[in-house]
Structure 1
Amino acid sequence: MLKIINQAHQNPNNTAIVSAGKSYSYQALLDESQAFASILLANQADLSESRVAFMVVAGFDYVKVQWGIWQAGGIAVPLCTTHPLASLQYVIEDTATEIIVVSPEYEAILKDLATEKGIRLIVLGNLPTISIKSLPPIASTRRAMILYTSGTTNLPKGVVTTHNNLEAQISTLVNAWEYTPKDHILCILPLHHVHGIINVISCTLWAGGKVEFLPNFSAEGVFKFFSSKTTEDENLVFMAVPTIYFKLIAHFESLSNEEQRALSKDMKRFRLMVSGSAALPVSVMEKWETISGHRLLERYGMTEIGMAISNPYHGERRAGHIGQALPGVDVRLVDEENNIVPKGEAGEIQIKGANVFQEYWQKKEATENTFTEDGWFKTGDVAVDEDGYYKILGRSSIDIIKSGGYKISALEIEEVLRTHSAISDCSVVGIDNEEWGELVVAAIIVNDSSLDINALNTWMRERMPSYRVPRRYKIVDELPRNAMGKVTKNELKQLF
């Protein structure tokens, strides 16, 4: 039996999921996921790693479908509910999906494609009554899930993880962040990414805790959750991306003093608050700590590895740093020749451990190219080890700017810009330039329209070497971001 399923048997009467105003026990989740696995199997004894793509509303049905796929022996392929048809079709065709599962809301989007491709379509909400079948034994070495990561070049690649990989990712975090059956977490994250699937849902359910879903993000909805949980026999947990914390802070600051004091008191009751999926600006971390009483735990992970590095649950959570290697995960920093760099020098993060994915789906060459000869996964992210804490300098392909012979971290420049009183947010990129190789430029969102760019440049030169000061600025209303809140810097470059 899969370990996550076995864990659910330990707390059958506990509430597992709250969604759409209803509560579901672990026993209900086990029963309904097994019933759905039987529907998937139909006349087969085992799906034998058939790909099952699903476009399902966040909530009980999502988890039921995912667990059903796993128990039937299939590979789960979560689809983004906001992607256009062309993107969905790419994933379905690339994985050679054999079954598509949809919530009724999404049937119209994929029905014609399923018919055209001869793919079996299952629509939730109108399922046949079926006898529970004998489910196949599932070895932990089997492929379990394919998530798509766009990276920075070429078409998206399907990241294949086995049940072993997922179990390593989940159990490591459960131990490191001390999940318990008393945990009650709010899920507001997209469910085609590791952050929501593993850190929020799977870890909490593995521990026997409760996951509550808020399908559509709103600052009001999040704060309502914060203020409505008054029971003392639950440990409240919250995880989000930096952009969400930024929006929550903005909403908090729009409230009356009385409302702010009440919310601050409510937030102090939480056991843990975590930020991830993008670099957490120090200014956001400090402001959130002021209003909530929580120093956010920042960590580092990728679709290919789950979580690998984390600030400690107990101990110093160092601002601007992603922390230390998690137990069972090996981390090293190397130069462009793959030699380990001396402490204090920048190098590419490479990872090895049971958490690391198996392969890119049907892309043997890409898989081989992303691993070293001795089996280390090359993340493409550049960091420095500062007194035992890793600090991300950026992604080698987009955040490390090579200008005038210097290697410049865009993230470090952004941190300085955000401390300017007239700037509410920013992003720095390098654009091709004959003289400099790459020119350092910045898109900024201002809260003071009278900001003088020349004065801003003078202000920047007082705080960092001149070669790091942006040579061009563009004032924008918003920054292009993906579903996880990361600035899509290749899109940003087009503005210049």
Structure 2
Amino acid sequence: MTLPLITRAEKNSEKRAILTDEGAFTYQDLLHISSQIATNLLNGTADLQQQRVAFLIPPGFEYVATQWGIWRAGGIAVPLCISHPRPELEYVITNSGASMIIAHPHFEDILRAIATTHNLRFILTTEPLGDHVAPLPEIDITRRALILYTSGTTGKPKGVVTTHQNIQAQVTSLVTAWEWTASDSPSETLRERILHVLPLHHIHGIINVLTCALWAGAECHMLSKFDADVVWRLISQGEFTLFMAVPTIYVKLIAAWENASQERQKTMTAGCTKMRLMVSGSAALPVQVLQKWQNISGHFLLERYGMTEIGMALSNPLHGQRYAGYVGQPLPQVEVRLVDEGGNLVPPGTPGEIQVKGPGVFLEYWQNPQATAKAFQDGWFCTGDLAVVENGNYRILGRMSVDIIKTGGYKVSALEIEEVLRNHPDIQECAVVGVADPEWGERVCAALVLQPQRQLTLESLRGWAKEQLAVYKVPTKILLVEELPRNAMGKVTKPTVVELFR
């Protein structure tokens, strides 16, 4: 069968699909170039038969056409991260068993060397594509489509395998919940337009933004990299209907807005008010960021919860009350439950591990049957995240491993402490971790980025924090740092923070 994503694109062939600095591209352009790429990848064979194809291309039309080309040739797409050093790229390429590498010329040196070392076919995006288009294979939607590598909290990253069917379920769930308008609406003015500023080796950028947009026949304006001034200039034009980002991006946009002239601020704000939805995810959204953004944009950011293995599972409502610090309720087609350490359901108000079931849940960890088996309990995927349901809404307490600190017999949420510390006048950013301690089991420790020209002692912080937190939640050690260690998605890497205290 033809993939539904392709069938839908054929119905929108004349409409603009991708907008970049290089120009505008229609769905027809995407279909045509991706079929040429698929022909090139097939190289005379009838079907790639789920061969893995690793590719490293900056966000833009070439990225999308390549991803679609891999899928249409019957391959599994393995997107690489543009900011990764050689050892990490090599790990993903070898772990996935990729037989080919496609690279933008910018990454030729690093990737050609890997291809040569491992005797893999190497293709540059600048190589001319033949005019001939071969008959493309029929692709069953139960086939593997994508391998994304998770930023594992322990050991090496694992390859999360999703099928075309999984992706379709993840996309249709979001398109339904967030009411993406189909492109066949009679009026062009109703057409969805989204600004894409997220990395494309991660589920947030690939599924929530790019694939949802292309599924809905929308227009996706892609930036090759995030730049707050460029983003504001585009938002100010008032042509977008949706925007999705991570908390660090909102922080940078807030800073840029605060530095702008009053006149400029008015146009920036006006551009935001023309949008129908703004979403935040991939990391916990600090309440004060949510409030500042609401003052600037008029939007109460929609927070949602998901992960590489499941797509999105929980979301605040599109219409109706959203609550700061909560991630709402289960999305369409998704079942969610909270269980205790014994695997028993917990009552509302009691913390439990989030477990998820549904057609969007991934197929397997690539060539790691033990990890796959360990990740499921009676058909439910065990997320390793702790949450509590209050007034029908889920509140994330953090990772059971990293964000849950066991100190002196108490279980403490690092996220809760961070939320409080961010309100301190001298603190700009913070990361709270548990550091092993013979007496307490773990000590609560905080790495702090201070506001410019400020100073802070442990003693004064503790005195201040004791007025807002139970004494066992108050940090017993602090470390002042220039910046917090983060991964490519802007998430603070807690294991690295723990190392700083050692």
TM range (shorter): over 0.9
Structure 1, unaligned runs of 5 or more: none
- Pick one of 350, 374, 389 that aligns with 2:393: 389
Cα displacement string for residues 117-137 of structure 1 (whole angstroms, at most 9, x for unaligned residues): 221111112224141111111
Contact 2:458-2:477 at 8 Å conserved across structures: no
Q: In the alignment, what sits opposite 2:75?
A: 74
Give the SS at the match of 1:9.
helix
Cα displacement string for residues 29-51 of structure 1 (whole angstroms, at most 9, x for unaligned residues): 11111111111111100000000
Counterparts of 2:481 and 2:301, CA distance in 1: 28
Counterparts of 1:288 and 1:488, CA distance in 2: 25
Using the size of structure 1 for normalisation, the TM-score is 0.97
Match for 2:94: what amino acid? E
Match for 1:365: what amino acid? Q
Give the SS at the match of 2:145.
strand
Cα displacement string for residues 380-406 of structure 1 (whole angstroms, at most 9, x for unaligned residues): 000000111100000001000000000
Give the SS at the match of 1:351.
strand
Counterparts of 2:463 and 2:266, CA distance in 1: 38
Q: In the alignment, what sits opposite 1:145?
A: 146
Counterparts of 1:190 and 1:408, CA distance in 2: 32
Counterparts of 1:416 and 1:177, CA distance in 2: 31
CA deviation after TM superposition for structure 1 residue 453, in Å: 3.5
* Structure 1 range deviating more: 72-81 or 418-427: 418-427
- Pick one of 199, 216, 220 that aligns with 2:208: 199
Q: In the alignment, what sits opposite 2:135?
A: 134
Match for 2:199: what amino acid? P
Counterparts of 2:359 and 2:35, CA distance in 1: 28
CA deviation after TM superposition for structure 1 residue 187, in Å: 1.1
Cα displacement string for residues 434-460 of structure 1 (whole angstroms, at most 9, x for unaligned residues): 110000011111115143442321121
Q: In the alignment, what sits opposite 2:193?
A: 184
> Where do 1:395-406 residues align within 5 Å?
395-406=399-410
Contact 2:36-2:129 at 8 Å conserved across structures: no
Q: In the alignment, what sits opposite 2:454?
A: 449
Contact 1:39-1:130 at 8 Å conserved across structures: no
Q: In the alignment, what sits opposite 1:51?
A: 52
Q: In the alignment, what sits opposite 1:434?
A: 438
CA deviation after TM superposition for structure 1 residue 228, in Å: 2.4
CA deviation after TM superposition for structure 1 residue 325, in Å: 0.3
> Where do 1:54-453 residues align within 5 Å?
54-180=55-181, 181=183, 182-230=191-239, 235-372=240-377, 374-447=378-451, 449-453=454-458
Counterparts of 1:106 and 1:462, CA distance in 2: 52
Counterparts of 2:497 and 2:116, CA distance in 1: 38
- Percent of aligned pairs sharing the same letter: 54
Contact 2:238-2:272 at 8 Å conserved across structures: no
Structure 2, unaligned runs of 5 or more: 184-190
CA deviation after TM superposition for structure 1 residue 248, in Å: 1.0
CA deviation after TM superposition for structure 1 residue 473, in Å: 1.3
Give the SS at the match of 2:241.
strand
Q: In the alignment, what sits opposite 2:188?
A: none
Give the SS at the match of 2:323.
coil
Counterparts of 2:221 and 2:270, CA distance in 1: 21
Q: In the alignment, what sits opposite 1:475?
A: 480
Give the direction of change, closer, same or farther, for the CA distance of 1:229–1:269 in structure 2 (3 Å limit): closer
Contact 1:38-1:130 at 8 Å conserved across structures: no
CA deviation after TM superposition for structure 1 residue 260, in Å: 1.5
Give the SS at the match of 1:261.
helix
Give the SS at the match of 2:500.
coil
Give the SS at the match of 1:426.
strand
Counterparts of 2:86 and 2:450, CA distance in 1: 35
Using the size of structure 2 for normalisation, the TM-score is 0.96
Counterparts of 1:72 and 1:266, CA distance in 2: 41
Give the SS at the match of 1:495.
helix
- Pick one of 474, 477, 491 that aligns with 2:496: 491
Give the SS at the match of 1:494.
helix
Cα displacement string for residues 128-159 of structure 1 (whole angstroms, at most 9, x for unaligned residues): 41411111110011000000013211111100
Contact 1:430-1:439 at 8 Å conserved across structures: yes
Counterparts of 1:109 and 1:152, CA distance in 2: 26
Counterparts of 1:199 and 1:156, CA distance in 2: 22
Q: In the alignment, what sits opposite 1:28?
A: 29
Counterparts of 2:274 and 2:7, CA distance in 1: 31
Q: Deviation above 3 Å: which 4+ runs of structure 1?
A: 450-453
Cα displacement string for residues 245-267 of structure 1 (whole angstroms, at most 9, x for unaligned residues): 11111121112222212211221
CA deviation after TM superposition for structure 1 residue 476, in Å: 1.4
CA deviation after TM superposition for structure 1 residue 361, in Å: 0.4
Counterparts of 1:393 and 1:112, CA distance in 2: 44
CA deviation after TM superposition for structure 1 residue 20, in Å: 2.1
Counterparts of 2:255 and 2:324, CA distance in 1: 20
Contact 2:59-2:225 at 8 Å conserved across structures: no
CA deviation after TM superposition for structure 1 residue 303, in Å: 0.5
Counterparts of 1:95 and 1:128, CA distance in 2: 26
Cα displacement string for residues 359-398 of structure 1 (whole angstroms, at most 9, x for unaligned residues): 00000000000001x1100000000001111000000010
Match for 1:66: what amino acid? Q
Counterparts of 1:157 and 1:450, CA distance in 2: 41
Counterparts of 2:235 and 2:129, CA distance in 1: 39
Counterparts of 1:14 and 1:237, CA distance in 2: 18
Counterparts of 2:458 and 2:105, CA distance in 1: 51
CA deviation after TM superposition for structure 1 residue 352, in Å: 0.4
